Amino acid sequence: MKGKAVKFIVLTIFPEMFDPFWEHGMIKRAIERKKIFASTINIRDFTKDKHRVTDDRPYGGGSGMVMKAEPLAGAIRAAQKKAPLAKTVLLTPQGRCFSQNIAHEMASSDGAILVCGRYEGVDERISHHLIDDEMSIGDYVLTGGELGAMIIIDAVTRLVPGTLGSEDSAENDSFSTGLLEHAHYTRPRSFEGNDVPDVLISGNHKEIEKWRLETSLIRTFLKRRDLLEKKSLSPQEIDILKKWCLDIEKIIHDQSLRGSDTSSGTQ
Ligand code: ADE
């Protein structure tokens, strides 16, 4: 499948952190196949002083250091020249939370210039004037944005058409369907006394699909009920849930009958 490569330019003071990242697995393959274009810019290359300093003390005092505006502005403008259509995104715990939906949007975009903050944060004038979006990868604080940038690139790259081995693999992903993915098994058929469910060996594709949907629904209900509450359910999914309700009601009903049997039996 042809298409324009999604561009990622990472602005960081630690570009070496990305070398092994570009050189393994699906990211490497996507670069080789020109599905993505990936590069780093060293923010330090845009300093003008002898010691190549990228941080300074905060105005107003206090602990921690702040990333200086001038080197960051130089690096961002250089990246924007290389990728004029890409959004400039600052990695920060204050940003909106990265999600599978955002990953899909980015996979069909021109790409992103990912600005990795370090220290306490970046000079506010950078965020105000040169940044299009702020992104967080979760409610915890990292020592810098580099790992966040890798997570975003990884999640987006596998959604770029032609990157995954099989075109439809990403369609059934957890979150893409609004449900967690179904259970998976591979050989051996029996492992430490635990067997693969018979239906998966039956060759009955309709039954296998139904079983997968059921395991998907039950996992989502048990592990991420919030997802199930948000999802707009298909008629088939509603039928499955209704059947569970009836099954559970029957178990409770039978129990209550048994309970009265037992109490009458002990009297
Ligand atoms: N930099 C530090 N913490 C971060 C987070 N949670 N997400 C993105 N960038 C960060």
Nearest CA to ligand 1 atom 2: 142
Query: What are 18-40's pLDDT values in tens digits?
Result: 999 999 999 999 999 999 999 99
Residue 44, both tokens = 């330090």
How many Å lie between the centroid of ligand 1 and the Cα of residue 61?
Answer: 23
Burial 107-123 (b: 16+ CB within 10 A, else e): beeebbbbbbbbbebbb
* Nearest residue to 175 (alpha-carbon basis) of 159, 161, 153, 164: 159
Ligand 1, CB cutoff 6 Å, lining residues: 91-93, 117, 136-138, 140-142, 144-145, 148
pLDDT on residue 97: 98
Spell out the residues 6+ positions from residue 146 whose beta carbon is closer than 8 angstroms to its own: 10, 12, 14, 17, 18, 91, 116
Query: What are 178-192's pLDDT values in tens digits?
Result: 999 999 999 999 999
Interatomic CA distance for residues 190 and 169, integer angstroms:
26
Which residues on adjacent β-strands are paired with residue 107?
A: none
CATH number of the domain that residue 22 is part of: 3.40.1280.10
Residue 266 CB neighbour total at 10 angstroms: 6
Q: What is the mean pLDDT of residues 161-172?
A: 75
Query: What are 121-130's pLDDT values in tens digits?
Result: 999 999 999 9
Which of helix, strand or coil describes residue 217? Answer: helix
Residue 174 Cα to chain centre, angstroms: 10
Q: Are 106 and 2 in contact (CB under 8 A)?
A: no
Q: Are residue 13 and residue 136 in the same domain, yes or no?
A: yes
Domain boundary (136, 157, 178) is at 157
pLDDT on residue 135: 98
Domain boundary (157, 182, 200) is at 157
Spell out the residues 6+ positions from residue 244 whose beta carbon is closer than 8 angstroms to its own: none
Which residues on adjacent β-strands are paired with residue 10?
A: 40, 114
Nearest CA to ligand 1 atom 4: 93
Cα distance between the two ends of the chain: 76
Residue 99 domain boundaries:
6-157
Domain boundary (132, 157, 182) is at 157
pLDDT on residue 131: 98
Q: Are residue 33 and residue 120 in the same domain, yes or no?
A: yes
| CA 30-34-39 angle, 5° bins | 80
pLDDT on residue 173: 85
* Nearest residue to 103 (alpha-carbon basis) of 148, 167, 65: 148
- Whether 201 is covered by a domain: the verdict is no
- Whether 184 is covered by a domain: the verdict is no
Interatomic CA distance for residues 217 and 178, integer angstroms:
10
Report the domain count for the chain: 2
Interatomic CA distance for residues 216 and 175, integer angstroms:
11
Query: What are 56-88's pLDDT values in tens digits?
Result: 999 999 999 999 999 999 999 999 999 999 999
> What is the widest separation between alpha-carbon atoms in the chain?
94
Nearest CA to ligand 1 atom 10: 92
Annotated catalytic residues are 93, 120, 158, 173
* Nearest residue to 213 (alpha-carbon basis) of 181, 243, 169: 181
Interatomic CA distance for residues 70 and 77, integer angstroms:
11
Interatomic CA distance for residues 158 and 171, integer angstroms:
11
- Whether 192 is covered by a domain: the verdict is no
- Whether 115 is covered by a domain: the verdict is yes
Query: What are 188-243's pLDDT values in tens digits?
Result: 999 999 999 999 999 999 999 999 999 999 999 999 999 999 999 999 999 999 99
Query: Which atom of ligand 1 is least distant from the CA of 138?
Result: 6
